Structure 1
Amino acid sequence: MMIDFLRKVPLFASLTNPQLSIISNICTRKSFKAHTILFQEKEPGSVFYIVYSGSVKIYTAATSGEEKILSLFKSGDSFGELSLIDGKPRSASAQTLEDSTMIVLNAPNFLDLLKSNFDISLCIMRELSNRLRDTNQHVHDLTFLDARSRVIKSLIKLANKNGIRTGNIVTIKMMLNYDEVSQMAGVQKPILMQVIRDFQERQILTFLGSEMKLDLAKLRG
């Protein structure tokens, strides 16, 4: 049931069953193929998304075509609310990384929901505050961390958000290619590859098919 899934979404974790029922009644489920662009930067915003299954990257693109990945979202994560709230165009683009299913709310329903339910509005405000803090931290990292440190921090971030931990080993499904990981870390690809080769030699990182295993004990050593 939709309400059972919504109950597990961190954004709505503090809501009551009646409040979750309200959300469930106004949202729909849609499926998208891998690499589908859900919306593009500077487009008008019309939909709020919650990832039901699969994964999505949020990114911006320079006039040269080079991308900068801002965030990765997986099941339970939500995005797309900012332009619905302020009425301005999308600040970034969104694309599925694999076959994915989204829970969607259109703009009128989303805004009516915020107007009539303070608790839900507060949840959205908290989520936006968390993302602002993440952005501030990213700016700090780009300013004060060297390239190698940024790569390591990005790998740890991938592990924390998308990995499955067993003891000291975190298994991460590699949804991004090396170009995308380097963009996310804010480094040139050769630097990323240098760090990865070093980690492989020290057995901190191992690759098995489409999965990457990160040994936290050896990383700390």
Structure 2
Amino acid sequence: MAEPYAFTIGELTLIRNAGRDTSWLRGTVLMPEGTPSEEVVLIDSGLVKVTRAAENGYTSVLAVRGPGELLGELSCLDGRPRSATVTAMESVRGTVVSGERFRRLLAARGDLSLAVLRSVTARLRDADRLRAEHGAFPAGVRVARVLHEMALRYGEAVDGMPGALAVRVNQQELAGAAGTSRESLVRAFADLERDGLIVRRRGRTLVTDPAGLGSWLGG
């Protein structure tokens, strides 16, 4: 995952002033796939996962989003039903802006419109890169790359373990984000744990040496 486009403080303030504060508990669906787009959400704290269900019942994890990122802006702009489901992975707080007000805000503020366009462009580039990587790297490397990037982007410091970062994403979600099976992820985790790069915990993974994991990826 490439680093998401970072909105400026002024841009975030514009969005927050146009909406209302809302919170969601872990497991709550913020946006169901296939429903009409009526609002956008700016995440203030917590993580959500973006998933899509296939006809055979398999659910793919398309992305993980966190603080400072927008949700639902594409459907809000083109008027089509939501293409994915957004679910809270932990307690989440955010700002909800109605679709009509969001569109008026973009029409009135060209600078914010450009910022949203840059954010969307960054996500499209990221999606293209991930598709290319799924064909270029074996499952174990894809798992390690996703874990490393999530740790750097969303990881939390761990008490008593200087430099370590906790990733609060379960193994099924990591496997989906890496485009691999749970079995392949377990094998990759065993290799990483043997090399002293991670420690597994219930509901989270501790990346004990982020720099070492990055070096491991470089071969």
State if a TM-score over 0.5 links the two structures: yes
Aligned pair 1:214/2:208, yes or no? yes
- Return the alpha-carbon distance in structure 1 between the equivalents of residues 166 and 76 of structure 2: 32
TM-fit CA distance, 1:49 = 0.5
Displacement, 1:151? 1.1
The amino acid that maps onto 2:145 is: K
Corresponding position: 1:88 with 2:80: yes
* Residues in 2 aligned to 1:14 and 1:177: alpha-carbon distance in whole angstroms: 31
Report 1:58-73 matches (<5 A). 58-73=50-65
TM-score, reference length from structure 1: 0.85
Given residue 193 of structure 1, which amino acid in structure 2 is its aligned partner? V
Residue 179 (1) aligns with residue 139 (2): no
1:167-206 superposed matches below 5 A:
169-174=163-168, 176-206=169-199
For structure 1, which runs of at least 5 residues remain unmatched after alignment? 1-8
Q: CA deviation at 1:23?
A: 3.6
Alpha-carbon shift at residue 205 of structure 1 (Å) = 0.8
Which of 9, 12, 15 matches 2:7?
12
Rounded to whole Å, the distance in 2 between the matches of 1:200 and 1:24 is 42
Identity %: 27
Q: In the alignment, which residue of structure 1 is the partner of 2:98?
A: 106
Which residue identity lines up with residue 147 of structure 2 in the other structure?
L
Q: Distance in 1 between matches of 2:38 and 2:136?
A: 37
Q: Which runs of 4+ in 1 moved over 6 A?
A: 165-168
The range that moved more, 35-44 or 204-213, is: 204-213
Residue 190 of structure 2 aligns with an amino acid whose one-letter code is R
The aligned runs of 1:124-139 (5 Å cut-off) are: 124-139=116-131
TM-score, with structure 2 as normaliser: 0.86
Question: 3-state DSSP class of the match of 2:208?
Answer: strand
String of CA shifts for 1:163-198, please: whole Å, max 9, x gaps.
146998341232x22111111101111111011011
Deviations 1:120-170 (A, max 9, x none): 000000000000100100110112212122111111121121114699834
Runs of 5+ unmatched residues, structure 2: none
Contact 2:50 2:64 in 1 (8 A): yes
Distance 1:124 1:186, change over 3 A: same
What amino acid is the match of 1:196? Answer: F
